[in-house]
Amino acid sequence: MRNKHLHAKAACCLCFFVFIAITATAQEQQDIHLSGSIQSDMLFSTQDAKDGSAQKHDFLTNTYADVMLQSQYVDAGTRLEYMEKPLPGFENDFKGWGVPHFWVKGKLSKAELTAGTFYEQFGSGFILRSYEERSLGIDNSLLGARLVLKPLKGVTVKMLSGKQRHYWKWDGGLVSGADAELSLDEWLPTLSQHETRLSLGGSWVNKYEKDEDIFVDPTHRLNLPKYVNAWDVRANLNRGPWGLLAEYAQKTQDPSFDNNYSYANGHVAMLSGSYSAKGMSVLLQAKRSENMSFRSQRNRLGTSMFINHLPAFTLDHTYTLAALYPYATQLAAGEWAYQTEVGYNFKRKTALGGKYGMNVKVNYSYVRAIQSAWLKWGSDTYYQDLNIQLTRRLARDIKLNFMYMNQRYNKTVIEGEGELIHSNIFVADALFQLARNTKLRTELQYLTTRQDQHDWAFALAELSLAPHWMVTVSDLWNHGDTKKHYYLGQVTYNIGAHRIQMGYGRTRAGYNCSGGVCRFVPETEGITLAYNYNF
Amino acid sequence: MKKIKIIYLLFFASLMAACSHIDEADQLIYVAPDIVEECPPNSALRNVLLEDFTGQQCVNCPRGTKVIEQLQEAYADRLIAVGIHGGPLGFKGNAAAIGLATDLGDTYYNHWQLEYQPVGLVDRHGAVNYTDWFTAVREELAKPSKVSMQAEASISNGQVSVSIKTECLDGTYNGMLQVWLLEDGITATQKRHDPIDNDNTTINDKNYLHNHVLRTAVNGTWGEALSVAANEPATKTYQLPLDAAWVSTNLSIVAFVYNDSGVEQAIKANITIKE
């Protein structure tokens, strides 16, 4: 069995390298374009193993090599992935290597047909979003076929069917769907004359999954629906600086591990309004979701095999302490989520703007539990974030960014244990232009809370010597509880399309999140090496 | 291209028509109990070992306990459940609260490369979500075993004495014999939903009753090697001191034999007090 498995992998790799050889030959023809990338993240662990972290002296790597061939009528691509000894924090099934991506696309003026693996999103992704997020170990691409048609001006129709990637298997149900988007402004001259764009969209997704034995007690098993249907309607209106997006999606009975095998339908509704003019922007968003966890395998848990994705209505923070407690969308339990953001640019040579002007941005997000009655809130606050950012140039060669953030984070709901953490975070970020090609950026951050591991401090200095070198040192220090330092030193070298980064340091255990999806990362300590190349 | 479009449209039309709404009255299908009470010659009825990897900070773990209670009601002594506290959601206690997690529990959690809690091992055939325990236990109960076991345990003069007799009924069995000490009726904190099936409310229940809690391994973390041939039963005896933190009347022992093919047989015995 093991030999058969190895032979299959060897065959896949052979195909990958044959593909590269063919594309390299084909590139000699002028109308064919070859592109690709290599990404390799490596860790040489120097700490003793504990709680699922790396073993001492382990060499771990997540490596990806993509190749794509483009021509007038046909595109094709493939990807080799090597995670036989992956970086810490990924699900067990993530481990492996092979060629999980291979696709060919035929293109005509009004039609496009893809066979193999592909990514797709319908609308905001409420009922279908297949995507890749390497830092989280997410790749829910579909293996099958997709047809995209543009039969009339302003009309796009997509149809697809396939099986979702589940790390190194395609063992979920069959996912099929269709999406139609109509740009009315291309049909109605009145709209385009008034600089108004209006598009209407509708989608439908079906999951077929075979029956299985799931018992609720020793003598009763569930009568499971083999087909689950989901549909989505949306309207997007833009006129001048104003924008409005309304979207609603519903899912039929889909008893799953995530929803405690509930037979209730799922719903999500979203309304988003924006205003964006020179010097000022406003965003207002509200979303209510309930029972919208939609996977291609009903008894799956963890981060794999999601067919859909609900965006988190919270700001994705980049500052270390602001991102210490990141929010993850509660797909199955549901949530009421609100977000508002106001940005204003104080002009130069005004009382508040000073000599160089000043930008102020205020963002507020609030996520709360739901009740079965649509407009009522549940009792728990899941997340709250009020943050104010001021960006101002102090002198020609000094730029400052200050942030204050007030956060409430319901650790019990988001991580499954803990308490409601109420924190205040302060950030000062200064950029100094030391010489024409030399920049120094420094960060000082402080988080104070009475809960969890109490107070944290963070400092960073990043020296950039353009165009090749960057040196970064930082220290994250928990002085409220563990007194532990998480220091990091890195040197980055860029040349052409190559980027090499080498460092040594310790990272804390915690959650790494992106777009409302999180994964737990255990503590690591060791030498890190990263290599990126695009061609 | 036109043919492809027609095939696609027909395919999608058939899927759109495939709707499977299930009324509330039809959501459960009755399945007759499938308890094997007679077994083939040279075999014994199998008791099933369910290792429940749990933790006091794990809000969903009481849902696993609820499944165990239903299984115990249906299968009585043939289902042997062990609550192994440890892993990231285990709690080792502090000055104010009793902790049930142990280093032993952490060792098992890490050894089996478990990722979530609650999760179980049913006769050590890989990790099983708690919602699938019914199915896994049912399948294991239907398999006859080539090993039969007997267990006796008593407390005398502050010592726990254990005697395990293992008999192979067909050929030779090579594996490991593991003996654990369990305690019932421990009142300690537990994070849980309130009520247990409701996701929206979470409480810290300070009076939660914990049963079948793994306290210690009697004969080492992984037990000791055992080889028994047909008609040549092996008896092993062990002694360990009684810990003051344990309530002696609530103690029991669990013994099982296992190898790379999983757990072959398990047995549970209450501890009699001979003071």
Predicted confidence (pLDDT) per residue in A242-251, tens digit: 999 999 999 9
Residue A416 lies in a domain: yes
Chain A residues within an 8 Å CB radius of B30: 219-220
Report the share of chain A in percent with pLDDT over 90: 74
Distance in Å, alpha carbon of A83 to nearest chain B alpha carbon: 17
Cβ separation B29–A216 shorter than 8 A: no
Q: Are A211 and A224 in contact (CB under 8 A)?
A: yes
Give the other-Cβ count within 10 Å of B116's Cβ.
Answer: 18
The answer to ipTM > 0.85 is: no
pLDDT digits 0-9 by tens, A265-296: 999 999 999 999 999 999 999 999 999 999 99
Residue A178 lies in a domain: no
* Banded model confidence at residue B218, pLDDT cuts 50, 70, 90: very high
Note whether B34 contacts A: Cβ–Cβ < 8 A. Answer: no
Name the A residues in 379-438 with CB < 8 Å from any B CB.
379-380, 412-413, 416-418
Amino acid at A413: V
pLDDT digits 0-9 by tens, B65-108: 999 999 999 999 999 999 999 988 899 999 889 999 999 999 99
- The DSSP letter of residue B45 is P
Q: Is the pLDDT of residue A223 over 50?
A: yes
Cβ separation A147–B4 shorter than 8 A: yes
Instruction: Give the pLDDT of residue B28.
Output: 95
Read off the pLDDT of each residue in A108-121 and give the average, rounded to a whole number.
96
Read off the pLDDT of each residue in B175-199 and give the average, rounded to a whole number.
91
Strand positions, DSSP E, chain B: 28-30, 48-54, 79-85, 119-122, 127-129, 147-156, 159-168, 172-183, 186-193, 202-210, 213-217, 224-229, 234-241, 251-259, 262-270, 272-273
d(CA B188, CA B206): 6
Note whether A73 contacts B: Cβ–Cβ < 8 A. Answer: no
Instruction: Give the pLDDT of residue B42.
Output: 83
Please spell the DSSP secondary structure of B220-248, one letter per residue: -TT-EEEEEEBTB-EEEEEEEEPPTTS-G
Report the share of chain A in percent with pLDDT over 70: 91
Domain that holds residue A498: 314-336+363-394+406-515
Cβ separation B129–A213 shorter than 8 A: no
Q: Which residue has the tokens 């060629």?
A: A99
Q: Is the pLDDT of residue A348 over 70?
A: yes
Residue A2 lies in a domain: no
Q: Is the pLDDT of residue A501 over 60?
A: yes
d(CA B122, CA B263): 8
- The CATH class that applies to domain B40-146+181-217+246-267 reads alpha beta
Name the B residues in 145-174 with CB < 8 Å from any A CB.
none
* Banded model confidence at residue A50, pLDDT cuts 50, 70, 90: low
Cβ separation A113–B4 shorter than 8 A: yes
Instruction: Give the pLDDT of residue B180.
Output: 98
Q: Is the pLDDT of residue A48 over 90?
A: no
Chain B residues within an 8 Å CB radius of A91: 115
Q: Which residue has the tokens 């090499």?
A: A500
- Token pair of A168, please? 């190194």
How many domains are there within chain A? 1
Q: Which residue has the tokens 């001259």?
A: A189
Q: Three-class SS of residue B153?
A: strand
Q: Three-class SS of residue A50?
A: coil
The CA-based dihedral angle spanning residues A484, A488, A489, A493, taken in that order and rounded to the nearest 10 degrees: 180
Please spell the DSSP secondary structure of A89-105, one letter per residue: TS-GGG-EEEEEEEEEE
pLDDT digits 0-9 by tens, B149-165: 999 999 998 999 999 99
- Token pair of B248, please? 């002696």
Maximal C-alpha separation, chain B: 89
Q: Is the pLDDT of residue A487 over 70?
A: yes
Helices (H) and strands (E) counted in chain B, each on its own, are 4, 16
Q: Is the pLDDT of residue A27 over 90?
A: no
Q: Are B119 and B129 in contact (CB under 8 A)?
A: yes
User: In Å, how far are A422, B131, B186 from B249, measured between CA atoms?
Assistant: 45, 32, 12
Give the bridge partners for A474, in sequence order. Answer: A460, A488
Give the bridge partners for B139, in sequence order. Answer: none
Taking alpha carbons only, the member of B152, B175, B147 closest to residue B232 is: B147
Strands B79-85 and B48-54: parallel
Residue A195, Ramachandran bin (φ over 0: left; ψ between -120 and 50: alpha; else beta): left
Q: Are A290 and A248 in contact (CB under 8 A)?
A: no
User: In Å, how far are A260, A342, B35 from B142, measured between CA atoms?
Assistant: 27, 65, 7
Instruction: Give the pLDDT of residue A115.
Output: 97
Q: Is the pLDDT of residue A404 over 60?
A: yes
Residue A187 lies in a domain: no
Cis omega (within 30 of 0) for bond into A255: no
Please spell the DSSP secondary structure of A295-354, one letter per residue: BSSTT--SSS-BS-----SS----STTTTSS-----TTT-EEEEEEEEEEEEPTTBTTTB
d(CA B210, CA B98): 11
Taking alpha carbons only, the member of A403, A454, A401 closest to residue A425 is: A403
Q: Which residue of A has its CA nearest to B2?
A: A111
Taking alpha carbons only, the member of A151, A126, A79 closest to residue A234 is: A126
